């Protein structure tokens, strides 16, 4: 059946130009090679011992705990903020949105310094907190949560605001015609509608919090068991025990890839 014509004229729009293909390949290599190096250099034989070493486990537990607490903190404050930005017209909304995204582009160390200036013992709020409640935030586990939340919250706010904007607000009007006030509409209609976006934002926020380094070490220091999270432990181990650093890095890599896999349907499904 197949005629000669289609066979000799394959449907192709010429070849991919080498000027694009070569840099593209190099770019891919550049991204993948370091990760491959991590896997290749991993001390596979001593891996179980190193993983179960008390220091590593403590750092991992602290990281997971603080990242989770930071995510909850971000959900509590970030979702209402996203709702406000997406649903309420108010003067200066563009400015507020720009301010929310500042921590995204700010070097985390600067964020840590800024947090110290406000919540530090002699900071704007820190002094008052210390004098009134006896609460000290810098160089504590709570300080770690605060530093991580500061850096990670924009991810959540942006994801949730995007989901809110994409959701059809006429469902909220329909809810109002059925007698639902704004709060009930928010909890019974809006939140379920944006649940997938909310979940994606929370996972992204959690991943960012887990990897936080600069703001944490500046604001909370590096005390094992109290403020030493995985990234900090990796940095410290690098100076004394390279193999240990590799193992800890590998753990973080596996966690990150796991998150990516969890988000695959939402972020990687683009054509």
The residue ranges that bind other proteins (CB under 8 A) are 168, 170-171, 173-181, 184, 188-189, 192-193, 195
Say if residues 238 and 172 touch (Cβ distance below 8 Å).
no
Say if residues 201 and 223 touch (Cβ distance below 8 Å).
no
Q: Looking at beta carbons only, is 99 or 195 nearer to other proteins?
A: 195
Say if residues 83 and 76 touch (Cβ distance below 8 Å).
no
CA 179 to chain centre: 38
Q: Looking at beta carbons only, is 79 or 167 nearer to other proteins?
A: 167
| Cβ neighbourhood burial of 147 (10 Å; 0-12, 13-18, 19+) | buried
The distance of closest approach from Cβ of residue 188 to other proteins in the complex, given in angstroms and rounded to an integer, is 8
The distance of closest approach from Cβ of residue 181 to other proteins in the complex, given in angstroms and rounded to an integer, is 5
Q: Describe the crossing of helices 93-105 and 141-166 by its angle, rounded to 10 degrees.
A: 130
The distance of closest approach from Cβ of residue 180 to other proteins in the complex, given in angstroms and rounded to an integer, is 5
The distance of closest approach from Cβ of residue 172 to other proteins in the complex, given in angstroms and rounded to an integer, is 10
The distance of closest approach from Cβ of residue 195 to other proteins in the complex, given in angstroms and rounded to an integer, is 8
Q: Looking at beta carbons only, is 172 or 241 nearer to other proteins?
A: 172
Q: Looking at beta carbons only, is 17 or 181 nearer to other proteins?
A: 181
Say if residues 216 and 232 touch (Cβ distance below 8 Å).
yes
Output the CA angle 55-70-38, nearest 5 degrees: 45
Say if residues 247 and 232 touch (Cβ distance below 8 Å).
no
The distance of closest approach from Cβ of residue 193 to other proteins in the complex, given in angstroms and rounded to an integer, is 7
Closest CA to 160 of 240, 234, 244, 74: 74
Distance CA 229, CA 239 (A): 16
Q: Looking at beta carbons only, is 171 or 235 nearer to other proteins?
A: 171
Q: Looking at beta carbons only, is 83 or 213 nearer to other proteins?
A: 83
Residue entry with tokens 């891996």: 47
Distance CA 4, CA 9 (A): 9
Q: Looking at beta carbons only, is 98 or 178 nearer to other proteins?
A: 178
Two tokens, residue 269? 């499904």
The distance of closest approach from Cβ of residue 85 to other proteins in the complex, given in angstroms and rounded to an integer, is 22
């Amino acid at each position: 059946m197949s005629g000669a014509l289609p066979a000799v004229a394959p449907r192709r729009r010429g070849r991919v130009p080498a000027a694009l293909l070569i840099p593209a390949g190099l770019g891919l290599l550049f991204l993948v090679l370091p990760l491959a190096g991590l896997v290749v250099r991993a001390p596979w034989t001593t891996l179980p011992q190193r993983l179960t070493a008390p220091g590593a486990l403590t750092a991992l537990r602290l990281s997971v705990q603080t990242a989770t607490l930071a995510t909850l903190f971000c959900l509590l404050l970030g979702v209402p903020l996203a709702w406000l930005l997406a649903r309420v017209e108010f003067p200066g909304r563009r400015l507020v949105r720009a301010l929310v995204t500042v921590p995204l582009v700010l070097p985390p160390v600067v964020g840590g310094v800024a947090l110290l200036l406000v919540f530090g013992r002699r900071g704007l709020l820190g002094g008052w907190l210390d004098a009134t409640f006896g609460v000290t935030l810098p160089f504590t586990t709570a300080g770690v949560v605060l530093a991580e939340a500061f850096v990670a919250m924009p991810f959540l706010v942006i994801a949730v605001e995007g989901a809110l904007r994409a959701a059809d607000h006429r469902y909220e009007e329909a809810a109002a015609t059925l007698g639902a006030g704004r709060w009930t509409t928010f909890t019974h209609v809006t939140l379920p509608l944006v649940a997938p976006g909310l979940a994606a934002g929370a996972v992204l926020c959690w991943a960012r919090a887990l990897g936080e380094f600069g703001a944490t070490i500046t604001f909370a220091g590096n005390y094992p068991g109290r403020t030493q999270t995985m990234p900090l432990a990796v940095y410290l181990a690098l100076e004394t025990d390279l193999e240990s650093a590799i193992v800890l890095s590998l753990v973080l890599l596996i966690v990150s890839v796991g998150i990516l896999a969890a988000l695959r349907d939402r972020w990687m499904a683009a054509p």
